[in-house]
Amino acid sequence: MTGERRALIIANGEYDNAGLSALRSPAADAEALAEVLADRAVSEFDVRVVRDETAHVIAGRVEDLFADSAPDDVLLVHFSCHGLKSESGELFFAARNTRPERLASTAVPADFVQRCMRMSRSRSIVLLLDCCYGGAFSQGVAVRATGEANVLDAFPGGGFGGRGRAVITASNSIEYAFEGDHLADGHARPSVFTSALVEGLRTGDADRDEDGWIALGELYDYLFDSVRERNPNQTPSRDIEMQGELYLARSRRRRIKPSPVPADLRAASEDPNMFTRLGAVTELQRRLTSENLSVAIGAHEVLTTMAQTDIRHIAEAADLARREARVRAEAEVVRFGEVVRGTRPVARVRLAGPPIARACHFTSSHSWLRVTEDGDGAEVALELSELGAFDGRITVTGPTGEIVVRVEGQVVAEPAPTPVSRPEPVPLVETAAPPPKFEPFDIAASVLAFVAAVYLVPIGFALSDSMEEFFEDGGWTVVPLGVFATVAGILMLLPKTRRMAGPGALCGLALLSAIPFGSALLVLTDGCLLAGAVCALIAVRRDRSFRLGLGKPRDGFAIAALAAGAGCAAGLVAEAVELLGYSSSRADEAAIYLVVSVVLLIGTLLGALLRPAAFGVAFLGGVAGGGIVMVSILAHAIPSSSSVTGAGWGIALGAVLALAVVTGFAARRMEG
């Protein structure tokens, strides 16, 4: 049975005693490390943080962690504080109330931590010590401890009863554990050691063998190289005694092994007949776009061989086919413009092309350039405190190549004053790709959406004797559908929206509007919307710059959308039950409620899973619009009776409006 994974982060940067200099790193250390260890996609640790507490509080938390453990538990403890040595050579961890002349009663003894580790039932214990040993006292205060403060001597390997444990320190016995490079400007930054630790776990760079897991030994090797690269005067040390391998985190750095192409396809690629080889190129190109990355890499290898060795005509065709899988970003430059010092601006680098072209990892050129990978690319965040221009690089490496994305801008002390004349808005990320080409299917989809709107509202008015009769007969319930269809038609014509927002919104709207009930007028409208959605999908399919797919919900907006969809479905089901209780003759009407609830739930689920994310958000917008129309139509049919409260309908209406709001916020965030 798999045990729990628990982490205790102890960070002390503020001290009551004037003789102990304040440390700016521990607060930032605790925040950054807690975030990455608690990330369910990385480490899955249950994290507890103890910050700027007294010695007895820290000792109590340490003892609780080790005492309340099972053999299969993985325990991790991280100290970020002053490390002090007594005259007798004992090592102590400084707390907020520590007095250098009274270490035994006001600090946490390393021997106490060792005893707790020895008495713990856990067989997997990791202790990370990011402590300052020399130069930690202000001027005028004598350092009582002299000589080397060898931290590993305080945690000998024996006496653990076969239990595995590891101690990794930020520096060796005579070195100072350096904080960030900028301590005088008042901005807290993680220390060199913890910064490297967090980066190695978060980015997956510590996964040296690229097997998808970060082992303890790999993590130390990464820390050693990274810390030494940033500061040659600091050397991390380790004492690891583990039976077997301990994996601390997952990573995205999984090496993909190529899958051999079928024997008949391999034979066709080498056939003496050039037309047979040309046909093999077409099939290999199809395999190159497969969701199965092993299959795609196998096809890429064969195409590469043909491009390098075949006759010119075949080689050019093979080279053109494999170019579709090259690594490429939607923007070659990320321009932040003016960044106010102390802020943490964020931008996105989105990758384009088939799955094999997006199976990449990202490496930043500077420590202030934070890159967090996700399914469609990466999030880029700046952590800069120095004024002036900055210029960084993000290297994107994949199985089919490598590109470099530039990051540039300027850090200013405060925002620049707003000019009187409003300039043209400068996009956060420069778009290098041209607008998608106009397809005949774009025009067809747009026209069908407009026809649906014309069928629904103007003709609906014309068929009624008066406007009052139109609204009394329920015409008000379908007016929103005409509005939404018009908006979708417009989006299908605009260059910036006809490949993502337009098709997504039209498909989502058609999904909800396709439920077979209502007047002949409504049926004709639904048919036009369905035909328009099909045309929009064909246009998307013909555009090879991206490919629709499914992924996992990545953020809070997706979860909120799913919750809103579930709430709407629950409200409609409750109303169906109420109608059946009111009269058995309402069974057909109750069935419609159930159908709408199921379709709306499926629609929100698809919107949360669809990739690219821009298409999924637009699809959710269409689902929300169609849901509003369906709930309005059902409301018109509710019987006027005191025994029918309509409470379920009210819940459904509130939930579908919430879905529309969530979708709007998600779209606005993507634009930013």
What pLDDT is stored for residue 422 in this prediction? 52
Higher confidence at residue 499 or residue 401? 401
What proportion of the chain, given as a percentage, has pLDDT over 90?
12
Residue 664: which pLDDT band, with cuts at 50, 70 and 90?
confident
Report the pLDDT averaged over residues 376-388. 82
Q: 646-655 burial, b for 16+ CB within 10 Å, e for fewer? A: bebbebbbeb
DSSP character string of 222-256: HHHHHHHHH-TT---EEEEE-SS--EEEEEEEEPP
Stretch among 42-51, 122-131, 540-549, 607-616 having the lowest mean pLDDT: 540-549
Best CA proximity match to 83, nearest among 169, 167, 190:
169
171: pLDDT strictly greater than 80: no
Report the pLDDT averaged over residues 163-168. 79
Residue 435: which pLDDT band, with cuts at 50, 70 and 90?
low
Q: Hey, CA dihedral for 546, 552, 554, 559, is it positive or negative?
A: positive
Best CA proximity match to 154, nearest among 244, 67, 79:
79
Residue given tokens 């209406």 in the structure block: 653
Stretch among 122-131, 565-574, 604-613, 632-641 having the lowest mean pLDDT: 632-641
Phi-psi region of 388 (alpha: psi -120 to 50; beta: other; left: phi over 0): left
Q: Per-residue pLDDT tens for 561-597?
A: 888 888 888 888 887 787 777 766 667 777 777 888 8
Stretch among 184-193, 337-346, 528-537 having the lowest mean pLDDT: 184-193
Distance CA 107, CA 56 (A): 8
**252, amino acid identity:** R
Report the pLDDT averaged over residues 61-74. 91
Distance CA 111, CA 447 (A): 78
What pLDDT is stored for residue 136 in this prediction? 26
65: pLDDT strictly greater than 90: yes
Report the pLDDT averaged over residues 497-519. 73
What pLDDT is stored for residue 82 in this prediction? 84
**662, amino acid identity:** V
CATH number of 5-254: 3.40.50.1460
For the chain, domain boundaries: 5-254, 263-323, 328-412, 458-671
Contact 651, 569 (CB under 8 A): no
What average pLDDT does the structure give for the chain?
77
Q: 18-30 burial, b for 16+ CB within 10 Å, e for fewer? A: ebbbebbbbbbbb
Stretch among 126-140, 324-338, 424-438 having the lowest mean pLDDT: 424-438
Report the pLDDT averaged over residues 13-34. 80
Contacts of 558 (CB under 8 A, 6+ apart): 608
Q: Give φ, ψ of 334 to 5 degrees.
A: -105, 110
Q: Is the domain defined by 328-412 classed in CATH 3.40.640.10? A: no
Distance CA 200, CA 190 (A): 14
Does this model's pTM top 0.85? My answer is: no
Q: Per-residue pLDDT tens for 231-273?
A: 787 788 888 877 777 888 887 766 677 888 899 999 999 999 9
What pLDDT is stored for residue 137 in this prediction? 22
Q: Hey, CA dihedral for 83, 89, 90, 95, is it positive or negative?
A: negative
Contact 226, 363 (CB under 8 A): no
What pLDDT is stored for residue 66 in this prediction? 93
Contacts of 540 (CB under 8 A, 6+ apart): 499, 503, 548, 615
Q: Per-residue pLDDT tens for 134-154?
A: 322 222 223 333 344 444 444
What pLDDT is stored for residue 148 in this prediction? 47
- Residue 401, classed as helix, strand or coil, is strand
The count of other CB atoms within 10 Å of the CB of residue 71 is: 12
Task: Dig out the tokens for 556 from the structure.
Answer: 């809070």
Distance CA 580, CA 589 (A): 9
Q: Hey, CA dihedral for 24, 27, 29, 31, is it positive or negative?
A: negative
Residue given tokens 């018109």 in the structure block: 636
Task: Dig out the tokens for 230 from the structure.
Answer: 């940033």
162: pLDDT strictly greater than 60: no
